[in-house]
């Protein structure tokens, strides 16, 4: 039997077909928000385009983003999108830093890259969970980023374990996180690609939640060497909620450039193109935030027992069908 499996895999490789075995090892991690959370973040409605504004044909913010990381089987996509990618982007823009486009996650400077485990861990604790195989609400993660902030990898390294993953957070990490809070969160119309493109053109990335299915795993067939364009079927199979960040767009082929968290062997070194039309019908939430150390939101005191959302009474849920 094992010999037969090896032979089949060899034939696939010779034929130029890459098996998707590695895809089974990667998690997602998005849950729907409760009503309290969903209504606590203001929405940019209606969206009114600035008079005389002209959309650039192409926007690419990747030079300020860290290399895509890998959540493995953990349900921590929220931490990778907001804590790692977005907070690092905001810090780079603020401090005038750019990232080496040829770099990888393994050689990122831990003093200037932010911890997905810090933000994800606080979010699941705020939802009364201890299991890192369970996802969180995107809106809850947004509130943690604004109320508490995020510390660097130097202060709180990555832990991608699914169980027993919540290590104690030192007080110094909370102090540092406060200096890197986000502020002014706004919800966007998840079907309004003009609104999303406008903010990207202003240098503001868009964090969003999307419903993916098995077709999304085809991104592993590129082995990191080729751009992946996700074109899901009309009927999604084995649906899951996933959180990512849009880092650009291209009107020439009507796609968003998106950073994923399934490693640099997926898509083009961890990024892919999401057609505008696919964004419209698969996304469920979208938010923008600004870096602002003077947020009016009240930060946490350094203790696990505190509520990262400054509220109580979260209800759990599964992805909407």
Give the pTM: 0.84
pLDDT number for residue 101:
56
308, 177 contact by CB (below 8 A): no
Q: Residue-wise over 197-235: b if at least 16 C-beta within 10 A, else e? A: bbbbbeebbbbbbbbbeeebbbbbbbebeeebebebeee
Cα 135 to Cα 115: distance, rounded to the nearest angstrom = 17
Cα 31 to Cα 15: distance, rounded to the nearest angstrom = 39
CATH number for domain 26-291, candidates 3.90.110.10, 3.40.50.300, 3.30.420.10, 3.90.70.10:
3.90.70.10
Cα 317 to Cα 321: distance, rounded to the nearest angstrom = 12
Domain-wise residue ranges, the chain? 26-291
Cα 205 to Cα 90: distance, rounded to the nearest angstrom = 9
CB atoms < 10 A from the CB of 236, how many?
Answer: 17
Note the pLDDT tens digit of each residue in 240-258.
999 999 999 999 999 999 9
- Determine the Cα angle at 64 with ends 165 and 173, to 5°: 35
Note the pLDDT tens digit of each residue in 120-157.
999 999 998 888 889 999 999 999 999 999 999 999 99
């Amino acid at each position: 039997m094992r010999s037969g499996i090896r032979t089949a895999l060899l034939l696939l490789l010779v034929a130029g077909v890459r098996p998707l075995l590695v895809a089974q090892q990667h998690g997602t991690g998005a849950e729907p928000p409760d009503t309290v959370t969903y209504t606590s973040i203001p929405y940019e409605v209606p969206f009114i385009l600035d008079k005389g504004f002209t959309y650039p044909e192409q926007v690419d913010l990747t030079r300020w983003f860290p290399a895509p990381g890998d959540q493995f089987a953990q349900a921590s996509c929220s931490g990778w999108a907001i804590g790692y990618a977005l907070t690092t982007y905001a810090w780079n823009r603020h401090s005038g830093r750019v990232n080496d486009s040829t770099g990888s996650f393994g050689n990122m400077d831990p003093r200037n890259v932010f911890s997905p485990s810090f933000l994800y861990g606080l979010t699941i604790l705020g939802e009364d969970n201890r299991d890192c195989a369970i996802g969180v609400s995107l809106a809850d993660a947004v509130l943690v980023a604004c109320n508490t902030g995020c510390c660097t990898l130097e202060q709180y390294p990555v832990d991608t374990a699914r169980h027993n993953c919540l290590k104690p957070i030192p007080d110094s990490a909370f102090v540092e996180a406060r200096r890197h809070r986000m502020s002014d969160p706004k919800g966007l119309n998840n079907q309004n690609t003009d609104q999303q493109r406008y903010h990207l053109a202003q240098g503001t990335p868009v964090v969003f939640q999307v419903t993916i299915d098995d077709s999304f795993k085809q991104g592993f067939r590129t082995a990191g060497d080729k751009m992946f364009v996700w074109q899901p079927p009309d009927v999604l199979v084995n649906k899951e909620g996933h959180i990512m960040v849009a880092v650009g767009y291209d009107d020439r082929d009507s796609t968003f450039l998106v950073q994923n968290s399934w490693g640099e062997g997926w898509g083009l070194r961890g990024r892919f193109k999401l057609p505008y039309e696919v964004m419209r019908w698969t996304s469920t939430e979208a938010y923008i935030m600004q870096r602002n150390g003077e947020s009016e939101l009240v930060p946490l005191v350094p203790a696990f027992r505190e509520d990262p959302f400054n509220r109580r009474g979260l209800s759990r849920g599964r992805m909407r069908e």
